[in-house]
């Protein structure tokens, strides 16, 4: 049997419904030379019945190791992969039917050693999921620097939609032991070793992310805290844009205290803030064709900036000011 061109590697933990949707989307791929590797850390056998549904339509390896971490899951998948390229996806992704054909075209045109693609919201997403997707991808938020053509510097693929050549895994030994931002650290190492990375803008995935603002806040809190971990390893990788959410929080705090100093300052700051969130509302409403999603997008942006910014500040204090060894994530 010919080895599959792609090995799609998906770490999962207690997400049977997500895996079901992802596998269903894979059955509709127009390009069929691929295998699916599910690196499953779920304590029980809940995925078995779902995987069995697709055995006749997909080539699947189910690697079940209870409580396996995300980096170890991806590395385990690579060790069992047969493809020339390994594609990492999150279990909460759904693929458009031409995803793999788009990846092939991008690789043929650019000869990337490692690549990434953006994420998008499908029409079937809930209003909250659409609002979160907007917040994480909009040019009006820090999401504007993720998965865009005009990316500053060499593109750093992210683990929710990331591909690498077999050679990269063999020369890097894969993901590190970091518990968060492990994909960013991996991309930095890949680039430092001289491999060519790039964005394939049309190779997007529908990324569900979190289903509540509370869960979204917790997720981006970890992202913000993890950025300080990356800084400790690679000081040159801390950019001005990474400070924006923390700066936003400090501006809000200053604005709340500003009436003690100047009423005019408070009014001017409030007008600017209202103007910004009005832009968010209008832009999201137009893009999602829904005023409800537009309104929810304001909450999503507050959760994104609040979560990332507070995680960034808390771990900055923990590691760089108090000089403690243990990170918050």
Residue 243: CA atoms inside 13 Å, Cβ hemisphere, count?
7
d(CA 110, CA 196): 9
3-state DSSP assignment of residue 93: strand
d(CA 228, CA 178): 12
In sequence order, the β-bridge partners of residue 207 are 93
d(CA 51, CA 39): 12
d(CA 220, CA 226): 10
Average pLDDT over residues 151-171: 89
d(CA 237, CA 231): 6
- Altogether, the residues listed in the chain come to a count of 329
Q: Cβ distance 8 to 163 under 8 Å?
A: no
d(CA 239, CA 227): 10
| Whole-number pLDDT of residue 241 | 87
The string of pLDDT tens digits covering residues 203-236 is 999 998 878 999 999 999 999 999 999 999 999 9
Q: Over 70: is that where the pLDDT of 153 sits? A: no
Buried b (16+ CB within 10 A) or exposed e, 6-36: bbbbbbbbebbebbbbbbbbbeebeeeebbb
3-state DSSP assignment of residue 118: coil
Q: Over 80: is that where the pLDDT of 4 sits? A: no
The helix-helix angle for 127-137 and 291-316 (nearest 10°) equals 60
Q: Over 60: is that where the pLDDT of 26 sits? A: yes
Architecture of domain 6-211: Alpha-Beta Complex (3.90)
3-state DSSP assignment of residue 60: strand
Return the closest-CA partner of residue 303 out of 269, 329, 280.
280
DSSP E strand boundaries for 112-173: 114-116, 119-120, 161-165
Q: Which residues of the chain are in CATH 3.90.550.10 domains?
A: 6-211
Quick count: other Cβ atoms within 10 Å of Cβ 325? 6
Q: Over 70: is that where the pLDDT of 2 sits? A: no
The string of pLDDT tens digits covering residues 70-115 is 999 999 999 999 999 999 999 999 999 999 999 999 999 999 999 9
Return the closest-CA partner of residue 213 out of 271, 129, 136, 98.
129
- What is residue 259's DSSP assignment? G
d(CA 31, CA 33): 6
Phi and psi for 150 in degrees, rounded to 5? -90, 55
* pLDDT more than 70, % of the chain: 96
Instruction: Name the token pair of 181.
Output: 């931002």
Return the closest-CA partner of residue 192 out of 113, 295, 310.
113
| Whole-number pLDDT of residue 279 | 98
Instruction: Name the token pair of 261.
Output: 């100093």
Return the closest-CA partner of residue 219 out of 156, 152, 129, 279.
129
Q: Over 70: is that where the pLDDT of 246 sits? A: yes
Q: What band does 239 get if pLDDT is binned at 50, 70 and 90?
A: confident
């Amino acid at each position: 049997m010919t080895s599959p061109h792609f090995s799609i590697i998906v770490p999962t933990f207690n997400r049977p419904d997500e895996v079901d949707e992802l596998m269903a989307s894979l059955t509709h791929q127009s390009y069929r030379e691929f295998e699916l590797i599910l690196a499953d850390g779920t304590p029980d056998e809940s995925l078995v019945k779902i995987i069995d549904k697709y055995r006749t339509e997909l080539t699947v390896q189910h690697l079940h190791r209870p409580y396996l971490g995300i980096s170890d899951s991806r590395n385990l998948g690579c060790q069992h992969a047969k493809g020339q390229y390994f594609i990492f996806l999150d279990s909460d992704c759904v693929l458009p039917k031409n995803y793999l054909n788009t990846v092939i075209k991008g690789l043929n045109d650019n000869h990337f050693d490692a690549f990434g693609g953006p994420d998008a919201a499908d029409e079937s997403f809930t209003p909250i999921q659409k609002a979160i997707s907007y917040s994480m991808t909009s040019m009006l938020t820090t999401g504007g620097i993720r998965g865009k053509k005009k990316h500053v510097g060499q593109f750093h693929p992210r683990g929710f939609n990331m591909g690498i050549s077999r050679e990269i895994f063999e020369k890097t030994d894969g993901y590190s032991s970091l518990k968060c931002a492990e994909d960013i650290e991996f991309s930095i190492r890949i680039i430092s070793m001289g491999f060519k990375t790039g964005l394939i803008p049309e190779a997007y995935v529908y990324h569900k992310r979190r289903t509540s603002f509370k869960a979204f806040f917790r997720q981006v809190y970890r992202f913000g805290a993890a950025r300080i971990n990356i800084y400790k390893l690679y000081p040159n990788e801390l950019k001005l844009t990474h400070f924006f959410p923390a700066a936003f929080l400090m501006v809000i705090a200053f604005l709340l205290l500003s009436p003690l100093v100047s009423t005019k300052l408070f009014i001017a700051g409030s007008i600017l803030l209202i103007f910004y969130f009005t832009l968010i509302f209008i832009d999201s409403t137009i893009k999602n064709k829904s005023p409800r999603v537009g309104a929810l997008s304001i909450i999503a942006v507050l959760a994104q900036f609040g979560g990332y910014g507070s995680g960034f500040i808390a771990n900055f204090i923990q590691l760089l000011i108090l000089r403690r060894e243990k990170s918050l994530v």
